Structure 1
Amino acid sequence: MKPYLTLALAATLLAPACKKDDPDDGLPPATQEGKNTGGCLVNGERFVATGYGSGLGRISALSGGFAFDSLYYLELSGVVKGNNVDVLLFFRSRKPGTYPLNRNTLYYPQGDPLTIFSHATYTESNNTGELYVTDAQHTGQVEFTYADVARRISAGTFEFTAASTFDRSKTVTVTSGRFDRQQ
Structure 2
Amino acid sequence: MNKLLPFLALAAALAAGSCKKDNPDAGLPPATQEGKNTGGCLVNGERFVATGWGGDLFSNPTPPLFGGFSFDSVYTVDLNGQYKGENATLTLFLKNDVPKTYLLNKDTPYYPQAVPSRVLDHATFTIDGVSKSELYGTNSTQTGKVVLTRADLRAGIGSGTFEFTAASTVDRSKTITVTNGRFDRKQ
TM-score range, shorter chain: over 0.9
1:37 matched to 2:38? The reply is yes
Q: Distance in 1 between matches of 2:135 and 2:184?
A: 25
Q: Distance in 2 between matches of 1:131 and 1:59?
A: 18
Q: Distance in 2 between matches of 1:33 and 1:108?
A: 26
Unaligned runs of 5+ in 2: none
1:139-178 map, 5 Å: 139-178=143-182
Q: Partner of 2:123 in structure 1? A: 120
SS of residue matched to 1:15: helix
Unaligned runs of 5+ in 1: none
How far the C-alpha of 1:30 sits from its partner, in A, is 0.4
1:28-177 map, 5 Å: 28-55=29-56, 56-126=59-129, 127-177=131-181
CA deviation string 1:114-162 (max 9, x = no partner)? 1210001011111423211110011001000011100001100001111
SS of residue matched to 1:130: strand
How far the C-alpha of 1:70 sits from its partner, in A, is 1.4
Calculate percent identity across the aligned residue pairs. 58
SS of residue matched to 1:114: helix
SS of residue matched to 1:154: strand
**TM-score when normalising by structure 1:** 0.95
**TM-score when normalising by structure 2:** 0.93
Moved over 6 A (4+): none
How far the C-alpha of 1:53 sits from its partner, in A, is 2.4
Q: Partner of 1:15 in structure 2? A: 16
Letter in 1 for 2:168: S
